[in-house]
Chain A
Amino acid sequence: NFMLTQPHSVSESPGKTVTISCTRSSGSIASNYVQWYQQRPGSSPTTVIYEDNQRPSGVPDRFSGSIDSSSNSASLTISGLKTEDEADYYCQSYDSINRGVFGGGTKLTVL
């Protein structure tokens, strides 16, 4: 099966913009939707981006998602960083028969 590779950690200052990448090892990144989940310590994950670039209601427009076929990767961009954005972020997608895979997760520190 394929893998999704994320940076282990990223950090940025409040008010700045950060981008987290998610690179697919095999198969096209565009062939299946990519989702992004946020998980704060001690809590269940929540969805911040679904279907590559869609935001669920209630998620601020500071969160955006995109895919880049040339690098076979997806990205989550968070602008106007707030301390409350500090969390673990996971990308997720599927293979051709809808078996899912999560990326390893990225710890975002807002300092």
Chain B
Amino acid sequence: EVQLVQPGAEVKKPGESLKISCKGSGYNFNGHWIGWVRQMPGKGLEWMGIIYPGDSDTRYSPSFQGQVSISADKSINTAYLHWGSLKASDSGMYYCARVSGYSYGRLGGFDYWGQGTLVTVSS
């Protein structure tokens, strides 16, 4: 059974750094892109970026490029989303999700989702 496990919540102060995790199990972690999605309170889903753990190839949405970094440690089947200096506006729910894979040369969408990590940034 494919599972993506995330911590439930993180509380930080503005200016602090944060790295949230997403541990995959039940599938070949190295062989699937894995991505991050933000959802601000009461708002829609925002695609942040994806990483291919096999070779660490990464794609970022222009909206998030330079704001966060995405990494993966394939030795422990875990992807990460990292902020160097948090702002209050980074507060929100962050989901990790697995990309299904390629079909006829085109990338599929997210097929499995984590439960989300609620990030609260407040002084």
Does A98 lie within 8 Å of B44, measured CB to CB?
no
Contacts of A64 in B (CB 8 A): none
Does B59 lie within 8 Å of A102, measured CB to CB?
no
B contacts with A: majority SS: strand
Kindly identify which residue among A35, A51, A88, A104 contacts B110, using a CB–CB cutoff of 8 Å. A35
Known: A101-B47, A102-B44, A102-B45. A47 touches B111 (CB 8 A): yes
Known: A44-B116, A47-B110, A50-B109. A99 touches B45 (CB 8 A): no
Contacts of B46 in A (CB 8 A): 102
Chain B count of residues within 8 A CB distance of the other chain: 26
Does B44 lie within 8 Å of A99, measured CB to CB?
no
What's the Cα separation between A101 and B59 when bound, in Å?
A: 12
Of listed A50, A56, A103, residue having the most chain B CB within 10 A: A50
Binds A, one of B18-26, B76-84, B100-108: B100-108
Does B95 lie within 8 Å of A92, measured CB to CB?
no
Kindly identify which residue among B60, B95, B103, B114 contacts A51, using a CB–CB cutoff of 8 Å. B103
Chain A count of residues within 8 A CB distance of the other chain: 26
Confirm or deny: B115 has a beta carbon within 8 angstroms of a beta carbon on chain A.
Answer: yes
Contacts of B106 in A (CB 8 A): 32-33, 51, 94
Q: How far is the CB of B7 from chain A (nearest CB, A)?
A: 14
Q: How far is the CB of A10 from chain B (nearest CB, A)?
A: 15
Contacts of B62 in A (CB 8 A): 1, 99
26 contacts between A and B (CB under 8 A): A33-B107, A33-B108, A35-B109, A35-B110, A37-B110, A44-B114, A44-B116, A45-B37, A45-B95, A45-B113, A46-B113, A47-B109, A50-B100, A51-B108, A51-B109, A90-B44, A92-B45, A92-B110, A94-B106, A98-B59, A99-B47, A101-B47, A101-B61, A102-B37, A102-B45, A105-B44
B residues touching A (Cβ–Cβ < 8 Å)?
35, 37, 44-47, 49-50, 59-62, 95, 97, 100, 103, 106-111, 113-116
